[in-house]
Amino acid sequence: MALASISSVTGRGVHVAGDDIDTDRIIPARFMKCVTFDGLGEYFFYDVRKDADGNDRKHNLNDPRFKGASVLLSGNNFGCGSSREHAPQALQKAGFRAVIAEGSPKSFLAIPSSWAYLVSRPPRLTSAALSMLLRQIQHWKSLWTWSAAKCASAINPSRVAFAQAHAKLYSLVNGIHSLNCWPTMMLSIAD
Amino acid sequence: MSGPLLRLFISKTEFHGQKLISESMGSARSGATSQWSDATVDWHASHSEVTSPQAFGMLREMGLPVRHPERTFATVDHIVPTNELVEPYSDPLAQAMIVELRKNCAEYGVTFFDTTTGKQGIVHIVGPEQGITQPGTTIACGDSHTSTHGAFGAIAFGIGTSQVRDVLATQTMAIGKLKVRRINVDGQLAPGVYAKDVILHIIRVLGVNGGTGFAYEYGGEVFDRFTMEERMTVCNMSIEGGARVGYVNPDDTTFEYLKGRPYAPKGTEWESAVQRWRSFASDADCVYDDVVNIRAEDIGPTVTWGINPGQAVFIDENIPDPATSPESLRAGIEEALEHMKFAPGQAIRGVPVDVAFLGSCTNGRLSDLKEVARFLDGRKVHPRVKAIVVPGSQAVAAIAMELGLDKIFTEAGFEWRGAGCSMCLAMNPDKLIGDQLCASSSNRNFKGRQGSPTGRTILMSPLMVAAAAITGEISDAREVFDILQGSAV
């Protein structure tokens, strides 16, 4: 079960507005009755996308302009609530490869990035930068390239302070899936 | 070196020039310059018909055994029906999940508190009542409310499925360094104000993401007096405040609770265990990254009005008006009001209730049921309300029935159910329908949490749930049950 190496993500972005987007929003618990993650993509943000009768709501996630988006932009505290891996899995199965959020709780960030997507953490993302990203997304024309190298340079300068992000990037770039390799990786990164 | 209890958790690791050494974590190792330590997990709870099947699947694919099967315990809670105790369950997916867990536990030699053992229940209730949860241990489980176990001075993490795999395979996991925020609650809680109100108040004050990057250490006079079950209620919801873990330092109350439990140390081992556990508590002179002081007298019966646990008011307050709220909160308030179908500035008291749910890992323990039952005497559930009581475990149910609590509840018009998570997250048949409003003793009021995308949840203490069930509307339990404010109950 080696994972593909990911060093950059290129694709359309889509904005899911709001702070405190919780894990029940990302994947409602009633869709978690499964013994594999395979079918979860169908239900990501289900109640955000669908009304009670199962019809599409008016929402960016249903907007044909953002169809096939692989970069998700959201507000503060994205992924709060449960530590269920079903949430990042549903996003991944729905085709997302990167999440750029103003912030995420540790319960969400701690879920291994081996599920092949990047979470950019915000102290680096100034509000000016965020509104620029938003404008770009709303103009929907631009394709995104979110590269590990770029992300790393954005996240620096303090290697120690942001070691976590470095470790995640390293595991993404190298397709490493075991968390317990990380201390070793940290040493190589420190070189 | 003095420090908070959390020091136990990072062993032989240099952080900020401090040398933090722990004997309890002897086999831990870590990268010297990293913020990650590779922590040994003392025990792992796999509740996890929901979060474990994929983890076992990955182990199988990798050809790895479970490294310490004797350190993993499993039970079923999320998907078990509470009104249908015979298999096969009418939901084939639920049946498949319990069969899968049973099979995985048998194959890998993991102890499984199955539905036939009398020990099944919500994992965060079963661990403590079996005496598995002990001070100073590092605990991981594929469920965010694992923070509950912190009530014993354990460091307890909710983890994702691939971390469950890693813990099964290695009995270790990589964890980032946490800061420690000490939260003191001093003074005396008023009658009719409970542990649930304390944690809802803390989250209201500090915010749903206020705890990001922190471990919460709860202390002060109120926590010193709290029973273990009250401490568990508070620690349970640490995650709702964004804290990765929450704990209370172990003391005599902790040891008294553990003594004689099936997995607790016995005989001469007991005395040395207590001595060791006592030494784990935070040092009196330790320095915290942050300290928050809250007066118990400032806390009233608290109810949520919105779509996250921090959107809460006291029962006699009004729901906020976005127009007069800080701009940064406005959009969130508007979204919540729209979902909850509330008007800006309206009173929360008097809102009609359709369903009352008493249970969950937050408030499904014996003391919760006892406290409500002693006030129910002769009162009846309002005809509009469907009220259910779901004991947190089969053991809780058995003692409650021995005490006749089931009769008190059913005579009042509550349905008495089997043990499980039930309507806290509606992965079993207990769900809200349409935009029903539920007075709930559970822990999350997220949109869609209780099984209907338009369902509405108001979080509160068990006694407030009972008050809502009886009056058919959100009410002040102190009035409904004649609890005189300012006098001893």
Does residue B97 sit at the A interface (CB-CB below 8 Å)? yes
Q: What class, spelled out in words, does domain A8-190 have in CATH?
A: alpha beta
CATH number of the domain located at residue range(s) B301-480 in this protein: 3.30.499.10
Longest dimension (CA), chain A: 56
Mean pLDDT value across residues A67-83: 82
Rounded CA-CA distance B175/B23 in Å is 18
- Which contiguous run of DSSP H or E holds residue B318? none
Q: Tokens 């149910």 appear where?
A: B397
Answer yes or no: is pLDDT of B217 > 70: yes
Per the CB < 8 Å rule, is A32 touching B427?
Answer: yes
Task: Please say whether the beta carbons of B353 and B435 come within 8 A.
Answer: no
Rounded CA-CA distance B413/B169 in Å is 48
Of B53, B162, B449, the CB nearest to A35: B53
Does residue B343 sit at the A interface (CB-CB below 8 Å)? no
Extents of the domains making up chain B: 43-173, 179-297, 301-480
Q: Which residues of A touch B212 (CB under 8 A)?
A: 77, 103, 105-106
Rounded CA-CA distance B309/B320 in Å is 15
Q: How far is B368 from chain A (nearest CA, A)?
A: 24
Encoded amino acid at B23, one letter: E
**Which chain B residues in 430-469 lie under 8 Å from chain A, judged by CB atoms?**
431, 434, 444, 446-449, 451, 453-454
CATH number of the domain located at residue range(s) B43-173 in this protein: 3.30.499.10
| Threshold 0.80, pTM exceeds | yes
Q: Is the ipTM of this complex over 0.85?
A: no
Per the CB < 8 Å rule, is B212 touching A103?
Answer: yes
Q: What is the reported pLDDT for A84?
A: 82
Is the domain B179-297 a CATH 3.40.1060.10 member? Answer: yes
Any idea of the CA torsion for B452, B394, B443, B427, to the nearest 10 degrees?
A: -30
Rounded CA-CA distance A61/A44 in Å is 10
Rounded CA-CA distance B355/A173 in Å is 50
pLDDT above 90 covers a percentage of chain B that reads 75
Answer yes or no: is pLDDT of B443 > 80: yes
Answer yes or no: is pLDDT of A22 > 70: yes
Q: Tokens 């029940």 appear where?
A: A24
Torsion sign (Cα): B423, B426, B429, B435: positive
Q: Are strands A144-147 and A8-11 parallel, antiparallel or unpaired?
A: antiparallel
pLDDT in tens, B286-297: 899 999 999 999
Mean pLDDT value across residues B35-46: 56
Helices (H) and strands (E) in chain B, counts: 16, 21
Lowest mean pLDDT among A20-34, B119-133, B253-267, B295-309: A20-34
User: Between the CA of residue A33 and those of B88, B164, B242, what are the distances in Å?
Assistant: 16, 18, 26
Residue of higher predicted confidence among B21 and B425: B425
Answer yes or no: is pLDDT of B159 > 90: no
Answer yes or no: is pLDDT of B273 > 60: yes
Encoded amino acid at B186, one letter: D
The 3-state DSSP class for residue A114 equals helix
Does residue B2 sit at the A interface (CB-CB below 8 Å)? no
Q: Which residues of B touch A37 (CB under 8 A)?
A: 54, 161
Rounded CA-CA distance B97/B79 in Å is 8
Burial readout B430-453 (b: 16 or more C-beta within 10 A, e: otherwise): bbbeeebbbbbbbbbbbbbbbbbb
Rounded CA-CA distance B260/B255 in Å is 10
Average pLDDT, chain B: 89
Torsion sign (Cα): A105, B149, B15, B183: positive
**Which chain B residues in 229-258 lie under 8 Å from chain A, judged by CB atoms?**
239-240, 242, 244
